[in-house]
Chain A
Amino acid sequence: MDAQRMNELELLLLKKLEGEISGEEQQRLDSWAAESPGNARLLEALADPDWMLEQMAELESIREPAREPLVVPLRRAPLLRRWGWAAAVIGLLAAGAAFWLMRAPAPQQSPAAQAPVQADVQPGHEGAILTLADGTQIPLDSAAQGEIARQGGSTLTLGKGQLAYDADEGGSEAPALNTITIPRGRQFRLLLPDGSKVWLNSASSIRFPVAFSGAERRVTVTGEAYFEVAENPAKPFTVEVTGKTRLRVLGTRFNLKAYPDEPVAVATLMQGKLAVEADSGAGQTVLLPNEQAIINGSRLRKNDVANAGAAAAWKDGLFNFDNKKLDEVMRELARWYDLEIVYQKGVPDIMFGGEMGRNEPLSNVLLGLQDANVKFKIEANRRLVVLP
């Protein structure tokens, strides 16, 4: 079918569905339907509300990828971009609506509003520091895009917000180890030599060989990272969390949150299979999709989660605050906005819900906190003091 005919039929079917079809157009549609049983079936299906809703639900369930692949300009998710139905869920309008949008005007000005932050603090952005095997450091915020280094047989190519490794498989010497460190207020993506993708959140790091030449693929992570591991059963992929945990990857997509300043380390699996081993005798477990392993010192437990993807919302430019306590929310904000959080008198017992875009200036976040009845003041040097 040529493109013109396809456009014409699409238009006719839409007119039919929208009740705007003329007699002559209806005739054209009818004669098309008579051409083949398949055509007639499609016309019939489109008239069936149950079937239609099923198809809408399927379209709804398709998630846009977090980022376009390499080379394509990185999209900064605008807060209210239309993501189909999902816009409402993903944008700040979901549970966060109560939190963000439906706020009543503050009856009285809080201290924060009276003393506005001079020069609003902007949200974090892409950036990282690359440390080569010989200790050379390359800041990836400012380096020009394109090929930035060669090590052994590997070529390093910097894209916007992403570094890609292209390994020459023929290399015989032991591959050099590189480290990428993500400072506070930054995030970054890495394309490993085997094609695995890693998203790195603020205040995180990853150490990895520039080529996976041995019998296994092994990387070391601190902080938070989301992995999409390229399948290769012949070369198992292991993620080590310094001092805490080992993840043996039997499948593909998972998020790991293991900050030293968090009380627990959490691995959440979206797709595939993941064996989680905790050091210090806490044992091991195997995760299936929508399961989560929580490692708390010497204890390892497993949880079901309704929406595993929420754990990696950050890579899609969102904070997910569902069921998080104030201190955890504050730690996330601190890493992204590079804040120092001080509690004047303990941590108020406030639970959060909903999602919020990560590219909001700090002032908007503060408004949200105010509406959530968090009392605080802003001091010099990005210090946020939470008041009782």
Chain B
Amino acid sequence: MHGGRTTPALQYSEQHNDQQLIRLFRAGDESAAADLYGRYYKGLVYFARRIVEHAGEAEDIAQDTMVKLFHKRNDFEQLSEIKSFLYISVRNACFNYLKARDRHALSHRELLYLTPEGEESADLEMLKSRVLAEIYQEVSTLPAHCGEVFRLLFIHKLTTAQAAEKLGLSPQTVLNQKARAIKLLRYRLSEKGFLALLLLMKML
């Protein structure tokens, strides 16, 4: 725990949770492992896809990397170390995959990663993936049901009627949930600024 300066309560408890998560993870706790999977897996696949243009391969790389993490779990004290380890391992695995392939089988973009500038491009993709994955986590913490309605309407671009049918809800319920999602995002707007704003822009 941090001593010294006063820490806002919320932040404090979040830190505590992170520490607890690491402790549980190191102790081999399955739910902690699942939590880490939930936090990082999608971002890693997204990142791997930026380098390796084969979706199945990108998934395999991300999965293998998670397995590596589990085996090395005693090496980590901080979530930030885990995150760095995961992304760097994925990058290396992607490069190894590209190097092992016949160059003729690679796309133009994939070949670029084998040039001296490749590492810099990969760094940029890594940074992008890490930022997007964080935002995705943020958005995904909308209350579940309301988030689901929002997701169908605005990301999958279903109509109210289609969403209602898919969710087995009445169209009125879907409209209510939509209103609630907008309200919650407005609330977050005050807290979170741009992120909520951009979502809101798409909704109204």
Contact = CB atoms under 8 A, between A and B. Distances in A.
Interface in A59-118: 59-60, 62, 64-65, 68-69, 71-78, 80-89, 91, 93-99, 101
Interface residues of B, number: 63
Contacts of A47: 194
Interface string A15-44: 011111000000000000000101100100
B70 A72 contact: yes
A75 B30 contact: yes
Nearest to B139: A56
Given A56-B135, A58-B46, A84-B42, A18 B168 contact: no
Contacts of B134: 10, 14
A87 B31 contact: no
B202 interface: yes
Given A17-B131, A19-B194, A72-B67, A60 B136 contact: yes
A353 interface: yes
A234 interface: no
B57 interface: no
Contacts of B148: 85, 88-89, 93-94, 97
A344 interface: no
Contact of A71 (B46, B67, B166, B199): B67
A65 B155 contact: no
B127 A75 contact: no
A85 B151 contact: yes
Contacts of B70: 68, 72-73
Given A49-B201, A60-B155, A65-B63, A85 B166 contact: no
Interface residues of A, number: 63
B106 interface: no
Interface in B111-128: 120-121, 123-124, 126-128
Contacts of B127: 1, 6, 9-10, 13, 42
Contacts of A10: 127, 130-131, 134
B136 A17 contact: no
B38 A88 contact: no
Nearest to B149: A88
Interface in B58-103: 59, 63-64, 66-67, 70, 80-81, 84, 87-88
Contacts of A84: 38, 42, 136-137, 140
